[in-house]
């Protein structure tokens, strides 16, 4: 049997039990049973099309038509989008142009999903009178300012056609996820549906990742040749003789980043699960997937996420105390195992394995800061052509800017970096103030807020170790949108004249 067919069988065998296991707890309160069945069915349809189409363009056409038509049956398209976000690797190919235009835009699975699911949703939201207009949410001015600045800087060094092409990609990759999440999740039911959907989709990929690490086999690695696409990601990478799992994400750090985001959202879903053991099992699966990535950045991000969530909890001292006690008990036992030396060598900050990666990142920071200071306010859009970064060129012939913040600052200076960071900090500070002052610490609203804040802390640490590729920007723009939606929800619930919505009342009854 060809490798891709064996891989397809493995993907199906691994994912079916996960979706079966999650069906009962998630459909009890979080996701409508009909929507869950539809999303699982589409997840398997996309997977089958991915492995059996034998043509990237056939895959795009078939999946696009099905999602555009069948996907309309879902009562919450945002949940559908998040459920399917990681089902396929984002293989990319250009849409060829004509009439003097070489190409229109590159297309991949993530952009396809945005166009056929988020774009119709955005149009509906834009015409709803009760939704906030543009610039009405705290993060709007930062998102728009950042994207406009990027396009304006690019216009100085490239053609008008390329500026329009890039601006369109900004709308698809950044504005659509942010706008739809911030406007479409302002009530408890839809937000719970969205978080549960993302964690369910990530749980299936997490199971695949754990299998990849244990078996030493990347299940999606044969697909570029089958679909006849060039993809610079998805290769076999090892750390301490162990395979670094990647699932559909293309890179182990991206896998760990996605699983960390899912873990943060999963923490907010504790009341959804009738049995704490079931909730804990899903959390452990996501944690195992983070471990299977063997990516130290996501390890640090996940640890920071958990500590932040614990510190903001009502019983924070007890949680932190139990965590310290458990660590004091478990770590000495681990040191007695044959794996002790290997585990220590892999740990961030203290480990000795793959020190070259750490040295490269330190050198990247030092050299990049020198380039940034040449034009600190607006950056240098053609920074790669200056020659200052040539000392960082690796054996693959590339200069890998493995730090999102440095990448932003190199291109658009500290103004661009300030706008980018402001997207998250503006909402994060508002949420923190609400959590500390106004919201009952034992309420579901407080739990959601502190888990969102912890998720932001985790992913913002991780993106300091990776460039903005594949699913990375989609996830952080979604999280920025979650912030806007949450602040709207807080405002509605704080309004004296506001009456409980039907879906909120149902949520309270279901969580009682």
What pLDDT does 503 receive?
46
Q: Please name the residue ranges forming H helices in 139-187.
A: 140-155, 160-170, 176-184
Q: What pLDDT band is residue 498 in, cutting at 50, 70 and 90?
A: very low
Q: What pLDDT band is residue 439 in, cutting at 50, 70 and 90?
A: confident
State the greatest distance between any 2 C-alpha atoms of the chain, in Å, as a whole number: 69
| The two three-digit tokens of residue 338, written as one number | 């044959």
| Mean pLDDT, residues 379-395 | 80
| Mean pLDDT, residues 173-200 | 95
Q: pLDDT averaged over the chain?
A: 87
* Of the candidates 296, 211, 197, 252, the residue with the CA atom closest to the CA atom of residue 469: 252
| Mean pLDDT, residues 129-156 | 91
Q: What pLDDT band is residue 350 in, cutting at 50, 70 and 90?
A: very low
Q: What would the DSSP string read from start to end of 263-286?
A: HHHHHTTGGG-SSHHHHHHHHHHH
What pLDDT does 140 receive?
94
* Of the candidates 443, 369, 450, the residue with the CA atom closest to the CA atom of residue 410: 369
Decide: helix, strand or coil at residue 105.
Answer: strand
| Mean pLDDT, residues 326-348 | 54
What pLDDT does 342 receive?
52
What pLDDT does 332 receive?
59
Q: Please name the residue ranges forming H helices in 463-501.
A: 472-494
| Mean pLDDT, residues 76-105 | 87
Per-residue burial over 230-248, b = 16 or more CB atoms within 10 Å of its CB, e = otherwise? ebebbeebebeeebbbbbb
The HSE-up count of residue 21 (CA atoms within 13 Å, CB side) is: 19
Cβ atoms of residues 474 and 112 within 8 Å: no
* Whole-number Å distance between alpha carbons of 126 and 110: 22
* Whole-number Å distance between alpha carbons of 511 and 197: 18
Classify strands 242-243 and 93-96 as parallel, antiparallel or unpaired.
Answer: unpaired
Q: What pLDDT band is residue 217 in, cutting at 50, 70 and 90?
A: very high
Return the C-alpha torsion angle 299, 302, 303, 309, nearest 10.
Answer: 180
Q: What pLDDT band is residue 510 in, cutting at 50, 70 and 90?
A: very low
What pLDDT does 398 receive?
77
**Residue 474 or residue 272, greater confidence:** 474
* Of the candidates 97, 11, 95, the residue with the CA atom closest to the CA atom of residue 61: 95
* Of the candidates 121, 5, 105, 12, the residue with the CA atom closest to the CA atom of residue 67: 121
What pLDDT does 509 receive?
37
What pLDDT does 213 receive?
94
Listed range (5-9, 158-162, 339-343, 491-495) with the worst mean pLDDT: 339-343
Cβ atoms of residues 264 and 458 within 8 Å: yes
| Mean pLDDT, residues 63-67 | 96
**Residue 352 or residue 419, greater confidence:** 419
The sign of the torsion formed by the CA atoms of 71, 74, 77, 79 equals negative
pLDDT at 183 over 80: yes
What pLDDT does 242 receive?
85
pLDDT at 383 over 90: no
Decide: helix, strand or coil at residue 73.
Answer: helix
What pLDDT does 504 receive?
45
pLDDT at 331 over 80: no
What pLDDT does 438 receive?
72
| Mean pLDDT, residues 348-373 | 74
* Of the candidates 271, 77, 89, 275, the residue with the CA atom closest to the CA atom of residue 183: 77
pTM of the model: 0.90
| Mean pLDDT, residues 74-97 | 93
| The two three-digit tokens of residue 379, written as one number | 């950056």
* Whole-number Å distance between alpha carbons of 265 and 433: 20
* Whole-number Å distance between alpha carbons of 276 and 288: 18
Q: What pLDDT band is residue 499 in, cutting at 50, 70 and 90?
A: very low
Percent of the chain with pLDDT over 70: 87
pLDDT at 321 over 80: no
pLDDT at 171 over 70: yes
**Residue 466 or residue 56, greater confidence:** 56
Tokens 């304006």 correspond to what residue? 152
pLDDT at 508 over 70: no
Cβ atoms of residues 59 and 45 within 8 Å: no
Q: Which residues pair with 103 in a beta bridge?
A: 96
What pLDDT does 130 receive?
84
pLDDT at 276 over 50: yes
What pLDDT does 330 receive?
58
**Residue 37 or residue 386, greater confidence:** 37
What pLDDT does 328 receive?
60
Q: What would the DSSP string read from start to end of 4-47?
A: HHHHHHHHHHHHHHHHHHHHHHHHHHTS-HHHHHHHHHHHHHHH
Tens of pLDDT, residues 109-134: 999 999 999 999 999 999 988 888 88
Listed range (58-62, 104-108, 146-150) with the worst mean pLDDT: 104-108
pLDDT at 512 over 80: no
| Mean pLDDT, residues 77-82 | 97
């Amino acid at each position: 049997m060809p490798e891709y067919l064996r891989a397809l069988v493995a993907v199906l065998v691994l994912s079916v039990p996960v979706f079966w296991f999650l069906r009962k707890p998630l459909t009890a309160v979080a996701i409508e049973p009909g929507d869950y069945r539809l999303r699982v069915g589409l997840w398997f349809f996309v997977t089958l099309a991915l492995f059996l189409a034998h043509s990237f363009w056939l895959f795009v056409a078939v999946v696009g038509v099905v999602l555009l038509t069948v996907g309309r049956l879902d009562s919450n398209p945002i949940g559908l989008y998040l459920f399917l976000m990681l089902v396929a690797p984002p293989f990319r190919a250009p849409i060829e142009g004509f009439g003097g235009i070489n190409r229109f835009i590159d297309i991949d699975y993530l952009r396809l999903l945005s166009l056929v699911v988020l774009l119709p949703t955005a149009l509906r939201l834009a015409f709803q009178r009760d939704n906030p207009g543009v610039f009405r949410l705290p993060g709007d001015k930062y998102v728009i300012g950042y994207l406009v600045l990027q396009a304006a800087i690019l216009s100085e060094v490239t053609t008008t056609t390329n500026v329009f092409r890039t601006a369109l990609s900004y709308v698809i990759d950044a504005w659509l996820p942010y706008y739809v999440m911030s406007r479409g999740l302002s009530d408890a039911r839809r937000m719970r549906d969205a978080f549960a959907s993302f964690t369910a989709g990530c749980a299936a990929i997490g199971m695949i990742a754990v299998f990849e690490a244990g078996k030493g086999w990347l299940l999606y690695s044969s697909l570029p040749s089958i679909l006849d696409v060039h993809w610079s990601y998805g290769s076999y990478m090892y750390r301490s003789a162990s395979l670094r799992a990647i699932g559909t994400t293309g890179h182990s750090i991206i896998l760990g980043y996605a699983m960390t985001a899912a873990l943060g959202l999963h923490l907010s879903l504790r009341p959804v699960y009738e049995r704490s053991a079931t909730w804990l099992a899903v959390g452990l699966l996501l944690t195992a997937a983070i471990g299977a990535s063997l990516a130290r950045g996501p390890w640090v991000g996940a640890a920071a996420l958990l500590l932040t969530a614990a510190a903001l909890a009502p019983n924070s001292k007890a949680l932190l105390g139990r965590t310290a006690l458990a660590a004091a008990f478990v770590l000495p036992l681990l040191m007695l195992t044959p794996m002790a030396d290997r585990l220590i060598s892999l740990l961030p900050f203290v480990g000795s394995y793959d020190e070259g990666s750490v040295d490269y990142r330190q050198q990247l920071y030092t050299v990049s800061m020198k380039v940034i200071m040449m034009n600190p306010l607006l950056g240098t859009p053609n920074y790669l052509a200056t020659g200052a970064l040539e000392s960082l060129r690796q054996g693959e012939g590339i200069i890998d800017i493995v730090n999102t913040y440095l990448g932003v600052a190199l291109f658009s200076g500290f103004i661009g970096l300030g706008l980018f960071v402001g997207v998250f900090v503006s909402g994060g500070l508002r949420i923190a103030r609400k959590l500390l002052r106004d919201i009952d610490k034992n309420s579901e609203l407080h739990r959601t807020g502190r888990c969102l804040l912890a998720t932001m802390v985790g992913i913002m640490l991780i993106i300091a170790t990776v460039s903005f590729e594949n699913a990375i920007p989609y996830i952080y723009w979604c999280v920025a949108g979650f912030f806007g939606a949450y602040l709207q929800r807080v405002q509605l619930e704080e309004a004296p004249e506001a009456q409980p919505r039907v879906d909120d009342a149902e949520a309270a009854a279901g969580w009682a």
